[in-house]
Structures are given as structure tokens and as C-alpha cells.
């Protein structure tokens, strides 16, 4: 029997289906990460969708809170932080792996982050460095809080975080703007955020010192010291073998491994802008190193650079659709 019903009207394409996937890539930079709150607010106000956020170090705090839906509370609390609060976070460590423990920091961050990666949107990827294998690790499964704790663990300052067979530390050792990682997750357009102003968590002077030290160790001038060092290491290993087994590597070996990771990366090809299409650079590099005493201005600076970038971002989205 003939079907006389009219054909259904053609469906218009879903705007969300054809739009490009957008990823953010946040560097770390201590308390200066409050700038990213301003950036995210401006994107929401201008209907710029976010599908992925990759981050390292303090950038993970903002990314995690945003994905967990607590960014407004974090912003309100952050703007009231002072030096007294910062000092409370620096609880002395008793494992001999670092000067301070990250337990206090994790306790504070737990107010805003209490979910797993699998339970939030946008999708997150937190960059860390595995001190055992000297490789970059991107965490995207499991406990977001623990992953952020690992990515913020500056070697020497905070204890590295065990994760399976890995020993994870600050992602700034291996990259500062994880734009390439956001693209690998599926982003078509990647917008970076740079509040650090350099390629690694260590300064250039520190890296140069380590390079000279490594070169000296390989020279013939070092052989008397190498002989004495071997004898000392044998004695130390015999006396402290049980202590090393229970506490793991000490602060000096952790710092040495961390600096060697950075030295090796410096020899490789440098990727401009971290592979991002746009990099937002709030003018916060001249503020104090802890970065909490001027939080309001840094937040506003994040809004400023984001508003300036909106036309360029909309153009990229339109070009991708076309």
C-alpha cells in the first residue's frame, strides 16, 4: 500500500555538532592562577564553549574547581586569602623528601574538588612529571584532588605523590603550557594561558648551573671527586639502606632528578606557544612570587586579556566551521 504521508522536513544541522571542540591549556604560577577565574568567567559570559582543559601546577586548581562546579566559591575565598593563610599551608615534612607536605593544601582544596575525572565536564587532563622514569604523565582518570596535588608538588618544596608505580611531581618540569596535550585529547582550537613566563618550573639560571655541574662531572677534572663520592656512597648505602627503603628518595636525589629532567628537555626542540592557537598572557609576572596579596588585580587582568581575545577566538571558530 502506498504511503501518502508527506516526507518529514529536513533537519537543520545541530550547531553544537558542527562547532569546533575548544580546549584550554593552563600553565602554573602559584597564586597568580586566580587570573584563570577571570578568563573562564569572560568565556561563559560570551558563550565560548569549553570541551577540554589541560593544566599543570596551580592551573589544575582552577580547572578542577571549574569542572566540579565550585568556581564561584573558590573565587570568593581566594580573593580573601592573605599571607597568614599561605604560611599555614607550609607544614614541615617528616619524610625527608621535601621541606613541606602537601597534606594541608589537599585538605583546603578538598572543599572545592571532590569528584573523579570520569564524573565531570569539561574533560580534564593534568600534567605531571614521573621522577622515576623522567617522563611526562597526563592524568585523566581517578581522583582529581590527588592528581592536582601531584601536579602542584614542586620538587624540593613539596613531597612527590605516589601514583601506582610512579612518583609524580610538578608538571612544570616537563611543560608549562600543555596545548599539545589538549589537542591530543580532541580539541580543534586550543587557547593557552601563560602566567609563568618561562618554559619550566626552574629558572634559567638554575638550569644553567645544573648543566655546568653535569658537564663538570663528565670531565677528567672530576675523577678524584668521583672516586671519593663512590666510597662515600658505599658507606652511606650500607648504613642507611633500611631508612631509604622506608622513606624512598631524599630531597637531594629528588631535586637532582628533577633538574636533570629539565636539562634534558632543554636539549630537545622547543614548541612555540605550547602548540596553542591563541595564548593569553595576563600581565602578572611582576607581582610577588606567592601571588596572593594582589589577587583582585590578577583576577581583573585575566578578564582583560580574555575580553581582548574574544574577537580572535570567534574568528577562529567561524573559520573552522567554514
Is 151 within 8 Å of 117 (Cβ atoms)? Answer: no
What would the grid cell of residue 239 be? 648504613
User: Which element (helix H / strand E) includes 129?
Assistant: strand 123-130
Q: Please report, for residues 30, 49, 88, 168, the alpha-carbon distance to residue 178 in angstroms, rounded to integers and kept in the order given.
A: 17, 19, 30, 17
Instruction: Report the 10 Å Cβ neighbour count for 24.
Output: 31
Reported in sequence order, the residue ranges of 145-245 that DSSP labels E, i.e. its strands, are 161-163, 166-170, 189-193
Distance CA 9, CA 196 (A): 53
Q: How many residues does the chain have?
A: 322
Residues annotated as catalytic are 57, 170
| Residues 6 or more apart in contact with residue 62 via CB below 8 angstroms | 26, 33, 34, 36, 37, 40, 55, 71, 74
DSSP-assigned states of every residue in 253-289: HHHHHHHHHHHHHHTSPP-GGGG-SEEE--S-TTS-S
Amino acid at each position: 500500500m502506498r504511503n501518502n504521508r508527506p516526507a518529514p522536513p529536513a533537519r537543520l544541522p545541530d550547531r553544537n555538532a558542527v562547532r569546533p571542540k575548544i580546549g584550554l591549556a593552563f600553565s602554573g604560577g602559584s597564586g597568580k592562577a586566580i587570573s584563570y577565574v577571570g578568563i573562564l568567567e569572560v568565556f561563559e559570559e560570551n558563550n565560548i564553549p569549553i570541551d577540554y582543559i589541560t593544566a599543570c601546577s596551580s592551573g589544575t586548581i582552577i580547572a578542577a574547581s571549574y569542572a566540579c562546579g565550585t568556581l564561584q566559591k573558590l573565587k570568593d575565598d581566594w580573593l580573601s586569602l592573605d599571607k597568614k593563610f599561605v604560611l599555614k599551608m607550609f607544614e614541615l615534612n617528616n619524610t625527608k623528601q621535601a621541606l613541606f607536605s602537601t597534606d594541608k593544601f589537599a585538605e583546603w582544596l578538598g572543599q572545592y574538588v571532590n569528584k573523579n575525572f570520569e564524573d565531570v565536564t569539561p574533560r580534564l587532563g593534568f600534567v605531571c612529571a614521573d621522577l622515576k622514569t623522567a617522563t611526562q604523565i597526563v592524568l585523566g582518570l581517578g581522583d582529581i584532588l590527588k592528581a592536582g596535588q601531584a601536579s602542584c608538588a614542586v620538587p624540593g618544596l613539596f613531597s612527590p605523590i605516589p601514583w601506582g608505580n610512579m612518583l609524580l611531581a610538578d608538571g612544570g618540569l616537563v611543560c608549562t603550557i600543555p596545548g599539545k596535550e589538549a589537542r591530543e585529547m580532541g580539541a580543534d582550537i586550543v587557547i593557552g594561558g601563560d602566567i609563568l613566563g618561562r618554559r619550566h618550573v626552574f629558572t634559567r639560571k638554575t638550569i644553567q648551573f645544573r648543566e655546568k655541574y653535569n658537564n663538570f662531572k663528565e670531565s677528567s677534572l672530576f675523577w678524584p671527586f668521583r672516586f671519593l663520592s663512590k666510597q662515600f656512597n658505599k658507606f652511606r648505602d650500607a648504613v642507611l639502606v633500611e631508612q631509604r627503603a622506608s622513606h624512598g628518595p631524599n630531597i637531594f636525589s629528588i631535586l637532582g632528578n628533577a633538574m636533570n629532567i629539565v636539562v634534558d628537555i632543554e636539549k630537545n626542540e622547543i614548541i612555540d606557544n605550547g602548540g596553542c592557537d591563541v595564548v593569553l598572557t595576563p600581565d602578572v609576572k611582576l607581582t610577588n612570587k606567592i601571588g596572593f596579596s594582589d589577587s583582585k588585580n590578577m583576577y581583573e587582568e585575566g578578564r582583560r586579556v580574555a575580553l581582548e581575545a574574544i574577537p580572535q577566538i570567534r574568528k577562529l571558530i567561524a573559520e573552522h566551521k567554514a
